[in-house]
Structure 1
Amino acid sequence: MNHFSLRRRAFTLVELLVVIAIIGVLVGLLLPAVQAAREAARRMSCSNNFKQIGLAIHNYHSAYNQLPVHGGGTIDNTTANQWRPSEVSNMSKLSFLVGLTPFMEQQAIWEQISNPMNEDTLGNSPPAPNPSGSVQARRAAGAPFPAMGPTPEDIAYYPWATEIPTLRCPSDPGKGLPSLGRTNYAACLGDCCDRAEGDLQRVGGVWEHKANLVEECRASQRGVFRGVNKTRFRDILDGLANTIAAGEIATDLGDSDNRTIALSHQSEGSGWSSIRDIPPVKNRCEPEIDATRPQFWVSSYAKVGATDGRGYRWAHYNQCFSGFFTANPPNSAVCTGFNAGGDGWWSASSRHQGGVHVLMADGAVKFITDSIESGAANTATTRPEWLINKWLNPGGKSKMGLWGALGSRAAKEVIDQEI
């Protein structure tokens, strides 16, 4: 027998390298397709979350004949300012999402919120609420949290720190501190950023809807949701199918993304007017954007605090956390004239490629591209060219193009194109 005929054949080194190269090419070709399929699945899941929120909004309206108030809840006459923290009330700072919890299969968390909660009663008599908003003494004494909870930044109150899966887009990887419970879905507040925080003011020691501010809010709050004011479907004169009720926001990852952490103009001393009276994007945000990384801020410019990232508090009604405007196009940089609690140019944003999901008032979910026509948002040179409020064209049609028209509820604008 020939000894060499028994020798097994084997791959040569060249053949092995060729096989590895072929496998590498195939993986390189298939990986983008796999990633695209995964993102498509995540987008579908995100859309389904929004549909649940839309259904919850309609069920809420059927039950109460109004939409959930964005900026609702309880208020006390001891805490000196609405922006201060309080453990005896939530100072009317709850987002529209809080009222929706029992309508989107979150009855358990709603029961926690709607009833008093005592984490650890120590048997001491709780001290009186502090006008400065200090809460440490009451917490140390074991005072119970009231029904509807404290103000939404209180990390000791479990519901505010709870992450609700329905409120999270699967494409957004953000999680954990310094945020509390995150949300990727925010109320549409219209196309005008003026007076979005509402008209509550303390008069003679009592909180009320102050008359002069009521008029300003009536002109400026043009969205489906109005800060601390209620709306009904009958108020949406443009038609439910033509009006955005809510939209996506990407949550902050701590990386100076100019869509998720706001540039602050507080140091300029004039607060909100420092950016309200100047065209939204071109002159106020773009100069501070990093030219080499257009999605990020230049690191040396002042931004809001690290705990004030976009979407960081699902229960908080401030625009930073759960609201947006159809003034700047989707995925635009965000700017504020003061801090996270102040008015500013808060745009919609997402981790999806090229646009954002929006929820129409009739419950339909649409995908809006970043290139949607936005009128004067990028071309205005003077305040009257883009701003609508009590003094400038109240009740007029949006000056922010199709994007602005979709965000305003009652300017009787006809949308004659498919979106």
Structure 2
Amino acid sequence: MRSRLRHRGPAGFTLVELLVVIAIIGVLVGLLLPAVQAAREAARRMSCSNNFKQIGLAVHNYHSAYQQLPIHGAGTHPTSGRNIWLDRNDASNRRLSFLVGILPFMEQQALWSQISNPSTVRTDGNASAVRGVVGNPWPAMGPTPEEINYIPWFTNIPALRCPSDPGVGLPALGRTNYAANLGDCFLDGRDGALKVRNNEPVPYQADSAFAQAALAKNRGFFKIHQSSRFRDILDGLSNTICAGEIATDLGDNDARTIGYDIGGSSDQSSILQNPAFCSDDTTPLINPERPQFWNPSSNLYDAIAGRGFRWADYLPNFCGFYTVRPPNSETCGISLTSSTLGSTSSRHQGGVHVLMGDGAVKFVTESIDAGNSRAPMIWSGNNPGAASPYGLWGGLGTRAARELIEDF
């Protein structure tokens, strides 16, 4: 008997016990994984907010240094008259966004030095190229922002990227998730007080008709092609949005990040009279099975025209937004170089970050009061000077709508 007891091995786990342990581990992982993902997103959201705070500080430091806001639509004039939307390699053609001007104030002095001085390097290293070589350098302040061989425009700046946005690489150049507030009217969004079309002579000159139109429609924090100061924000800096978050395009037909092109400039009035034109279309343009996405057959902008694809470009499609449609609404337009009605958007759940004029960063939900999204926009031909028809959202986007931050 002793012999039999001596040869008994240690007791092991039964199959049932192993299955129970595995099941318990699976349940614990299932419970913990969402919490881990939520914690990661909370950290990314905080990082995004901090990026915005740095941009706000840079804007205020720029104003302290130059007694004005950075110009949205700045840069050099070409050597000969050209339309503002055309590509140039001899000048930036007044196409630079406000983000270019604040680079020295957000610890990007090295990049600013490359932009503000003539440059003789190219991304492709082509020694026989037209621009970017010894004897024929890129001009100071660069070419227009679509030039892929100009290294600064191709550079991704971490401080301009939301960590929750996964967009990388071509066909974008340097991406941005932060865009200028252009107000509550998208009419001829590229135009300010300068007459910059029909091959105007250079330097571009202020034009009385353009200036009058700009006064009526360009009601945002930034004035296209014009200098402005904090004192121009009559509602107060804490009551006016300076910049907003935008999601960059991933090539997946996301209605927020790629524009639906309804046609030429003659069709601009369709959106002007009804900002919800694209969502109201009976075709339908939006995929009914995937409400955040366009139908694959929709007439979308070219792949190179995704939202946020060029941080250096002032054009509304790339680095601007309007407080007309609520956050995370579809993007609708007539041309990537003229009039694109895009709102704020993000990869965060339920809303977007906005930067207020006083430097505060707020999180705006998709359910913010946006008034009547089918009301005609305000411009020189429709009740100029009227209060924004787009509720609190429209009021926060305009300089003089007399809204109160307590309602936010």
> TM bucket by the smaller chain?
over 0.9
State whether structure 2 residue 392 is matched by structure 1 residue 390.
no
User: In the alignment, what sits opposite 2:228?
Assistant: 231
State whether structure 2 residue 390 is matched by structure 1 residue 400.
yes
State whether structure 2 residue 317 is matched by structure 1 residue 320.
yes
State whether structure 2 residue 344 is matched by structure 1 residue 348.
yes
CA deviation string 1:109-166 (max 9, x = no partner): 0000000001279999xxxxxxxxxxx7456896200000000000110000000000
Give 2:353's aligned amino acid: H
- Which SS does the other structure have where 1:15 is aligned? helix
Aligned mates of 1:173, 1:105 — CA distance in 2: 24
Q: CA deviation at 1:265?
A: 1.0
Aligned mates of 1:4, 1:289 — CA distance in 2: 76
User: In the alignment, what sits opposite 1:417?
Assistant: 406
- Which SS does the other structure have where 1:186 is aligned? strand
Give 2:348's aligned amino acid: H
CA deviation string 1:310-332 (max 9, x = no partner): 10000000111110000000000
User: In the alignment, what sits opposite 1:201?
Assistant: 195
> Which of 80, 94, 97 is the matching residue for 2:96?
94
Extract unaligned runs of 5+ from structure 1: 125-135
Using a 3 Å threshold, how does the CA distance of structure 1 residues 86 and 330 change in structure 2: closer, same or farther?
same
Matches within 5 A, 1:25-44: 25-44=27-46
Give 1:169's aligned amino acid: C
Aligned mates of 1:201, 1:269 — CA distance in 2: 17
Give 1:188's aligned amino acid: N
- Which SS does the other structure have where 1:288 is aligned? coil
Aligned mates of 1:142, 1:254 — CA distance in 2: 39
Aligned mates of 1:153, 1:333 — CA distance in 2: 24
The count of residues paired between Structure 1 and Structure 2 equals 399
Using a 3 Å threshold, how does the CA distance of structure 1 residues 210 and 245 change in structure 2: closer, same or farther?
same
User: In the alignment, what sits opposite 1:82?
Assistant: 84
Aligned mates of 1:195, 1:217 — CA distance in 2: 9
Aligned mates of 2:276, 2:268 — CA distance in 1: 12
Q: CA deviation at 1:80?
A: 2.5
State whether structure 2 residue 180 is matched by structure 1 residue 191.
no
CA deviation string 1:80-127 (max 9, x = no partner): 321111111000000000001000010000000000001279999xxx
User: In the alignment, what sits opposite 1:369?
Assistant: 365
Using a 3 Å threshold, how does the CA distance of structure 1 residues 248 and 4 change in structure 2: closer, same or farther?
farther
> Which of 146, 151, 161 is the matching residue for 2:154?
161
User: In the alignment, what sits opposite 1:128?
Assistant: none
Aligned mates of 1:160, 1:284 — CA distance in 2: 37
- Which SS does the other structure have where 1:261 is aligned? coil
Aligned mates of 1:229, 1:195 — CA distance in 2: 15
State whether structure 2 residue 303 is matched by structure 1 residue 303.
no
Aligned mates of 2:67, 2:82 — CA distance in 1: 33
In the alignment, is the contact (CA less than 8 A) between 1:122 and 1:142 conserved in 2? no
Give 1:196's aligned amino acid: G
Q: CA deviation at 1:392?
A: 1.5
Q: CA deviation at 1:345?
A: 1.4
- Which SS does the other structure have where 1:87 is aligned? coil
- Which SS does the other structure have where 1:241 is aligned? helix
- Which SS does the other structure have where 1:358 is aligned? strand
Aligned mates of 1:334, 1:237 — CA distance in 2: 29
Q: CA deviation at 1:396?
A: 1.6
In the alignment, is the contact (CA less than 8 A) between 1:196 and 1:220 conserved in 2? no
Identity score, percent: 55
Once structures 1 and 2 are overlaid, which stretch shifts more, 220-229 or 112-121? 112-121
Using a 3 Å threshold, how does the CA distance of structure 1 residues 61 and 286 change in structure 2: closer, same or farther?
farther
- Which SS does the other structure have where 2:244 is aligned? strand
In the alignment, is the contact (CA less than 8 A) between 2:241 and 2:397 conserved in 1? yes
Q: CA deviation at 1:275?
A: 2.1
Aligned mates of 2:323, 2:265 — CA distance in 1: 26
In the alignment, is the contact (CA less than 8 A) between 1:272 and 1:342 conserved in 2? no
Once structures 1 and 2 are overlaid, which stretch shifts more, 203-212 or 141-150? 203-212
> Which of 167, 172, 177 is the matching residue for 1:179?
172
Once structures 1 and 2 are overlaid, which stretch shifts more, 6-15 or 28-37? 6-15
- Which SS does the other structure have where 2:308 is aligned? coil
Give 1:178's aligned amino acid: P
In the alignment, is the contact (CA less than 8 A) between 1:285 and 1:333 conserved in 2? no
Give 1:391's aligned amino acid: G
User: In the alignment, what sits opposite 1:252?
Assistant: 249
Aligned mates of 2:81, 2:11 — CA distance in 1: 86
Aligned mates of 1:285, 1:69 — CA distance in 2: 40
- Which SS does the other structure have where 2:209 is aligned? helix
Q: CA deviation at 1:273?
A: 2.5
Q: CA deviation at 1:17?
A: 1.1
> Which of 48, 72, 88 is the matching residue for 1:70?
72
Using a 3 Å threshold, how does the CA distance of structure 1 residues 352 and 4 change in structure 2: closer, same or farther?
farther
In the alignment, is the contact (CA less than 8 A) between 1:261 and 1:303 conserved in 2? yes
Using a 3 Å threshold, how does the CA distance of structure 1 residues 83 and 104 change in structure 2: closer, same or farther?
same
Q: CA deviation at 1:68?
A: 0.4
In the alignment, is the contact (CA less than 8 A) between 2:79 and 2:91 conserved in 1? no
Q: Note the aligned Cα RMSD (angstroms).
A: 2.1
CA deviation string 1:273-313 (max 9, x = no partner): 23223343543599300000001000001100101101000
- Which SS does the other structure have where 1:333 is aligned? coil
Aligned mates of 1:353, 1:16 — CA distance in 2: 39
CA deviation string 1:8-52 (max 9, x = no partner): 221111111111111111111111111001000000000000000
User: In the alignment, what sits opposite 1:357?
Assistant: 353
